[in-house]
C-alpha cells in the first residue's frame, strides 16, 4: 500500500500543509468516515452532507490526516479548494510514481468481468492491482488506486459512467497505455440519448491515453467497428463472428463444465478453456487474450489465467439450495446482459424460473426494452416472477411471447415475490435472479432462502 507523505500529496494536488505535518504519512484514502481504516487519509467531501462535520470522528477512528478545504482545529491536513478533484490528482500522482502499465476497461455490459479476466491473465506474469467491486467512478477509482501496492507492475482500472465527461475525467487521471472497450449497448441511454451518444462517451477513454497508447475494441459490435478509421490512437480489434478482427474466437463449444474455444491471430492459434456458462463470456475472455498478448504474456500463461478464472461475488454464482439450482446474477442488468443470462437459464435442464427485477436508467426506452425482454423470457423460461414498476411491461411481453397467464407473476413487493417463489418452486428447478443494482434482487434471494418451506 502507498506510504505517501502529506508534503508529496500536496505537491500533486496543489494543496497546503502546515510545516509540522509535512512528513506525516498515510496509507490509502476514504471519503466515508464509517468505512475509514486506521492510517488512511480522510477526504472531507462537500455534498449533500458536509464531510468536514465528520472530521472529529474520522480522527478518532485513526485517520492519519484529512484532505479538506478548511481546517477547524489542530490535526494533520492538506487544504485544497476542491477535495474531490484533489483526491483524483493525488491518485494520478501516485499512479505515475508507481510506474506500472495502466489498463482502462469500459463498456456497456460486462466490464467488471472483463476487468477480472484481464487481471487474472496478467497476474500469471506480473504483480497486478485492480479496482475492486464497483469502484469505477470519480471517487471509487482514485480511492482504489491509493490502496494499491507501490510495486504493482500492471494496474487494471474499470471505468464506468452515466453521463458525458465522466470517462474522460478518469482517463485523464489514469493515462492508460491500453484502453479496452468491450461493447456499446443501451445502459445509461436515459442520460446519453442514444447508442451513438453512449459510443462517444465510451470513446472518451482515449482522451487521457498517451500518443503511443492503444485501444482494444470488440469488433462484433456494430458501433465500435464503424469508427475504426476515425480513432485518435492506434487500435486493434478482437471478436467472434467478425473475421476481419486481428484476434478471432472460433469453434466455440459450451459444455456443462464451461466454454471451450480457439483463438486465431497472426501468431497462430491456441485453445482456451473458460470455467463459466454462457457464450457471451467469450468476448470478455477475448479482451483478456488481447491484453495478454499486448503485455507480452505467453500463450501458456494466458490459457492458465483464463482456466483459473473466478468471477466476482454476485456475478453468475451457481449453487444448490435444497435440490434447487440457483443462478445468482444480481450485480446489475440491462437488456443485453439480461438476454445473455436468460440464455444461460435456457441451456440448463429442469424447470426454469426467471426471477427478474427492473432494468434502470433506460429512460424513454424502458417500456419497450422490458417488453422485448419479456418476449425473450417466454423463449427461455417456464415461469416468470418479476419485480418493480417497469417489469409490468416485461410481464406483458412474456404473455405476448406465448407464456401462459398462470406462469407469469408481477410484483411490486419483494417479500410477496419471495413468498410466492417458496410456494411455487421445487427440487429440480433452476432459478435465475437478476435485475439492476438498485432493485437489490439479492434481497429477494435471501428472503426466499430464509422463509420456511
State the residue for C-alpha cell 445468482: 328
Angle at 112 between CA 107 and CA 117, to 5 degrees: 105
- Give the residue among 67, 71, 73 at the shortest CA–CA distance from 10: 67
Angle at 263 between CA 333 and CA 274, to 5 degrees: 50
Q: Would you say residue 292 has pLDDT above 70?
A: yes
pLDDT category of residue 338 using cuts at 50, 70 and 90: very high
Distance CA(216)–CA(41), nearest Å, equals 35
Looking at residue 59, what is its pLDDT? 95
Q: What is the pLDDT of residues 120-135, one digit of tens each?
A: 999 999 999 999 977 8
Helix (H, G, I), strand (E, B) or coil at 348: coil
Q: Would you say residue 191 has pLDDT above 80?
A: no
Looking at residue 162, what is its pLDDT? 82
pLDDT category of residue 79 using cuts at 50, 70 and 90: very high
Q: Would you say residue 200 has pLDDT above 80?
A: yes
User: Quick one: average pLDDT of 189-209?
Assistant: 87
Domains of the chain (ranges, CATH numbers): 4-86 (3.40.1390.10), 99-307 (3.40.1190.10), 317-450 (3.90.190.20)
3-state secondary structure 174-192: HCCCEEEECCCCCCCHHHH
What is the pTM assigned to this prediction? 0.81
User: Quick one: average pLDDT of 320-342?
Assistant: 90
User: Quick one: average pLDDT of 101-114?
Assistant: 92
Beta strands in 334-439 (DSSP E): 352-357, 383-387, 408-411, 430-434
- Spell out the alpha helix ranges (H) of 227-318: 281-294, 299-307
- Start-to-end CA distance of the chain, whole Å, equals 47
- Give the residue among 149, 108, 171, 123 at the shortest CA–CA distance from 292: 123
Looking at residue 9, what is its pLDDT? 97
Which grid cell is 366? 424502458
Which grid cell is 231? 480513432
Q: What is the pLDDT of residues 302-321, one digit of tens each?
A: 999 999 998 777 677 889 99
Distance CA(452)–CA(57), nearest Å, equals 42
Q: Would you say residue 95 has pLDDT above 70?
A: yes
Is 176 in contact with 204 (CB distance < 8 Å)? Answer: no
User: Quick one: average pLDDT of 249-277?
Assistant: 93
Looking at residue 453, what is its pLDDT? 53
In the chain, pLDDT over 90 holds for what percent of residues? 81
Looking at residue 185, what is its pLDDT? 76
Looking at residue 432, what is its pLDDT? 97
User: Quick one: average pLDDT of 60-79?
Assistant: 95
Q: What is the pLDDT of residues 381-431, one digit of tens each?
A: 999 999 999 999 999 999 999 999 999 999 999 999 999 999 999 999 999
Helix (H) or strand (E) holding 396: helix 391-400
Exposure class string for 206-240: b at 16+ Cβ within 10 A, else e: bebbeeebbbbbbbbbebbbeeeeeeeeebbbbbb
Is 155 in contact with 98 (CB distance < 8 Å)? Answer: yes
Looking at residue 424, what is its pLDDT? 94
3-state secondary structure 86-123: HHHHHHHHHHHHHCCEEEEEECCCCHHHHHHHHHHHHC
Residue 443: Cβ within 10 Å count: 15
Question: Greater confidence, 361 or 342?
Answer: 342
Can you say whether residue 214 is alpha, beta or left, with left for phi > 0 and alpha for psi between -120 and 50 degrees?
Answer: beta
Q: What is the pLDDT of residues 351-391, one digit of tens each?
A: 999 999 999 988 888 999 999 999 999 999 999 999 999 99
Q: Say what angle helices 83-98 and 166-174 make with each other, to 10 degrees.
A: 40
Amino acid at each position: 500500500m502507498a506510504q505517501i507523505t502529506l508534503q508529496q500529496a500536496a505537491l500533486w494536488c496543489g494543496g497546503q500543509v502546515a510545516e509540522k505535518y509535512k512528513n506525516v504519512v498515510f496509507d490509502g484514502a476514504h471519503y466515508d468516515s464509517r468505512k475509514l481504516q486506521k492510517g488512511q487519509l480522510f477526504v472531507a467531501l462537500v455534498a449533500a452532507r458536509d464531510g468536514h462535520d465528520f472530521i472529529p470522528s474520522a480522527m478518532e477512528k485513526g485517520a492519519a490526516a484529512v484532505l479538506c478545504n478548511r481546517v477547524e482545529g489542530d490535526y494533520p491536513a492538506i487544504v485544497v479548494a476542491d477535495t474531490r478533484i484533489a483526491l483524483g490528482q493525488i491518485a494520478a500522482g501516485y499512479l505515475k510514481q508507481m510506474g506500472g502499465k495502466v489498463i482502462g476497461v469500459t463498456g456497456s455490459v460486462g466490464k467488471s468481468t472483463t476487468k477480472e479476466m484481464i487481471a487474472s491473465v496478467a497476474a500469471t506474469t506480473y504483480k497486478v492491482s485492480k479496482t475492486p467491486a464497483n469502484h469505477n467512478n470519480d471517487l471509487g477509482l482514485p480511492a482504489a488506486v491509493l490502496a494499491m501496492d507501490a510495486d504493482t507492475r500492471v494496474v487494471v482500472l474499470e471505468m464506468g459512467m452515466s453521463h458525458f465527461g465522466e470517462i474522460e475525467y478518469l482517463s485523464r487521471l489514469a493515462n492508460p497505455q491500453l484502453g479496452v472497450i468491450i461493447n456499446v449497448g443501451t445502459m445509461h441511454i436515459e442520460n446519453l440519448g442514444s447508442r451513438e451518444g453512449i459510443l462517444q462517451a465510451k470513446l472518451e477513454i482515449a482522451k487521457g491515453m498517451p500518443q503511443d497508447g492503444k485501444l482494444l475494441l470488440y469488433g462484433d459490435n456494430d458501433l465500435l467497428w464503424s469508427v475504426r478509421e476515425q480513432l485518435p490512437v492506434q487500435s486493434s480489434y478482437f471478436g467472434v463472428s467478425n473475421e476481419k478482427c486481428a484476434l478471432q474466437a472460433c469453434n466455440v463449444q459450451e459444455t456443462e463444465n464451461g466454454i471451450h474455444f480457439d483463438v486465431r491471430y497472426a501468431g497462430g492459434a491456441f485453445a482456451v478453456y473458460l470455467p463459466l456458462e454462457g457464450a457471451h463470456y467469450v468476448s470478455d475472455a477475448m479482451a483478456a487474450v488481447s491484453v495478454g498478448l499486448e503485455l507480452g504474456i505467453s500463450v501458456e500463461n494466458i490459457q492458465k489465467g483464463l482456466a483459473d478464472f473466478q468471477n466476482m461475488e454476485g456475478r453468475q454464482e451457481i449453487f444448490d439450495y435444497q435440490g434447487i439450482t440457483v443462478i445468482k446474477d444480481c450485480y446489475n442488468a440491462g437488456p443485453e446482459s439480461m438476454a445473455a443470462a436468460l440464455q444461460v437459464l435456457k441451456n440448463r435442464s429442469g424447470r426454469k424460473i426467471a426471477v427478474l427485477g427492473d432494468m434502470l436508467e433506460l429512460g424513454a426506452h424502458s417500456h419497450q426494452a422490458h417488453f422485448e425482454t419479456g418476449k425473450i423470457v417466454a423463449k427461455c423460461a417456464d415461469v416468470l416472477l418479476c419485480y418493480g414498476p417497469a417489469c409490468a411491461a416485461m410481464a406483458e411481453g412474456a404473455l405476448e411471447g406465448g407464456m401462459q397467464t398462470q406462469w407469469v407473476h408481477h410484483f411490486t413487493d419483494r417479500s410477496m415475490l419471495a413468498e410466492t417463489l417458496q410456494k411455487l418452486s421445487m427440487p429440480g428447478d433452476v432459478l435465475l435472479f437478476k435485475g439492476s443494482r438498485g432493485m437489490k434482487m439479492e434481497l429477494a434471494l435471501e428472503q426466499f432462502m430464509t422463509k420456511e418451506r
